[in-house]
Amino acid sequence: MYRMKKATVSLLIFVMALFLLVGCNSNTNGKTEEASGGKKDGKIVVGFSQIGAESGWRTAETKSIKETLGNSPDFELKFSDAQQKQENQIKAIRNFIAQKVDVIALAPVVETGWESILKKAKDAKIPVILLDRGIKVNDESLYTSFIGSDFILEGENAAKELINLIGADKKANIVELQGTVGASAANDRKTGFANGLKDNPNFKIIKSQSGDFTRTKGKEVMEAFLKSDGKNIDAVYAHNDDMAIGAIQAIEEYGLKPGEDIKVVSIDGIKDAFEAAVQGKTNIIVECNPLLGPQLAQAVKDLKAGKEIPSWIKTEESVFVGKDAAEEALPSRKY
Ligand code: AHR
């Protein structure tokens, strides 16, 4: 009887311990994956608020951060997926501050609305590094550095290469698939493309709408463009490859040939886009590098070592035009 009681008590203690352990690892913010708060073995604790998983590019970025920081003995990574919602990102940052992380990395879904939460991080003396997308704040000291691409330049390159492909003296009606409304990647790529066309009155954007950086939405919006403008469309400019792939499907279902009847230009450089280019279904890929893990790790290390880090850490990128360029690059594509 006494032995039975002892066994029951031990079981109870074991279950309670397990319960506590699981409790520590969960978080109030949707899909947060993280260990318990506080520093562990002198590791640098980085809280990363990611936008979600809307595109192949985003998935590659998440993988790069998890592989670099998550697998390193120097870091402890706390990862939070905001599922496209700014409110979830704000909640995640609040949690990171409460847990006293060393550095916060933020891929901001939209450009505005960050002042108040970033002020809290600043007051808590936690540096914030922006990843891949920028923000608009009056006080630039609210973040330490931005790691990512020049989205305006990407848009300008997309326009330049499209003009080269079609011919500056030819007329071209273009439809534009914009990224997420309010995102710097969408705003700047739109501005850059318009800059690139402004000196050529032959090239006109006849329709422009958000496809939210997703394949499904890209296809839906392209279907609507085809319905209203059909054979008047000469080219589609998509702010990312996923929307371009959706558009390619819509063009084929409409009975036209993507890459021939309607030229396709998009930004990112995911493998699927290179495969489409090899098949002649897309024409121009402007690369935007999502493999930011190593740059983030270095920046965080430098910061913690008391070094000054650049306010903009730019990524290196190329442009691929035509089948041959895609065929040559495809085997070595990393995302
Ligand atoms: O911020 C970068 C953009 O966001 C990528 O081009 C797009 O694919 C992603 O969703």
Average per-residue pLDDT for the chain? 91
Confidence at residue 316, expressed as pLDDT on a 0 to 100 scale: 84
- Lowest-confidence segment of 13-17, 268-272, 320-324 by average pLDDT: 13-17
pLDDT tops 50 at residue 229: yes
- Evaluate whether 74 touches 44 at the Cβ level (below 8 Å): yes
Q: How remote is the CA of residue 281 from the centroid of ligand 1, in Å?
A: 21
For residue 332, give every residue at least 6 positions away whose Cβ sits within 8 Å of its Cβ, in sequence order, or none.
Answer: none
Confidence class for position 29, pLDDT limits 50, 70, 90: very low
Per-residue pLDDT reduced to its tens digit, 264-304: 999 999 999 999 999 999 999 999 999 999 999 999 999 99
- Evaluate whether 286 touches 157 at the Cβ level (below 8 Å): yes
CB of 185 shorter than 6 A to ligand 1:
yes
Per-residue pLDDT reduced to its tens digit, 179-193: 999 999 999 999 999
pLDDT tops 90 at residue 20: no
Q: How remote is the CA of residue 185 from the centroid of ligand 1, in Å?
A: 7
Atom of ligand 1 nearest to the CA of 189: 6
Confidence class for position 37, pLDDT limits 50, 70, 90: very low
Residue with tokens 């009155």: 201
Could you give the count of Cα atoms lying within 13 Å of 107 in the half-sphere of its Cβ? 28
Confidence class for position 246, pLDDT limits 50, 70, 90: very high
Confidence at residue 26, expressed as pLDDT on a 0 to 100 scale: 33
pTM: 0.89
Confidence at residue 3, expressed as pLDDT on a 0 to 100 scale: 47
Atom of ligand 1 nearest to the CA of 267: 6
- Indicate the length of the chain as a whole number: 335
Three-class SS of residue 42? Answer: coil
Could you give the count of Cα atoms lying within 13 Å of 34 in the half-sphere of its Cβ? 28
Atom of ligand 1 nearest to the CA of 239: 6
Confidence at residue 325, expressed as pLDDT on a 0 to 100 scale: 98
How far from 107 is each of 203, 290, 300, CA to CA, in Å? 33, 11, 15
- Evaluate whether 80 touches 308 at the Cβ level (below 8 Å): no
Residue with tokens 């534009």: 176
d(CA 304, CA 298): 10
Per-residue pLDDT reduced to its tens digit, 154-167: 999 999 999 999 99
Confidence at residue 39, expressed as pLDDT on a 0 to 100 scale: 56
Q: How remote is the CA of residue 183 from the centroid of ligand 1, in Å?
A: 9
Amino acid identity, residue 276? A
CB of 161 shorter than 6 A to ligand 1:
no
Per-residue pLDDT reduced to its tens digit, 82-116: 999 999 999 999 999 999 999 999 999 999 999 99
pLDDT tops 50 at residue 34: no
Q: How remote is the CA of residue 301 from the centroid of ligand 1, in Å?
A: 26
The 3-class SS string of 120-168 reads HHHHCCCCEEEECCCCCCCCHHHCCEEEECCHHHHHHHHHHHHHHHHCC
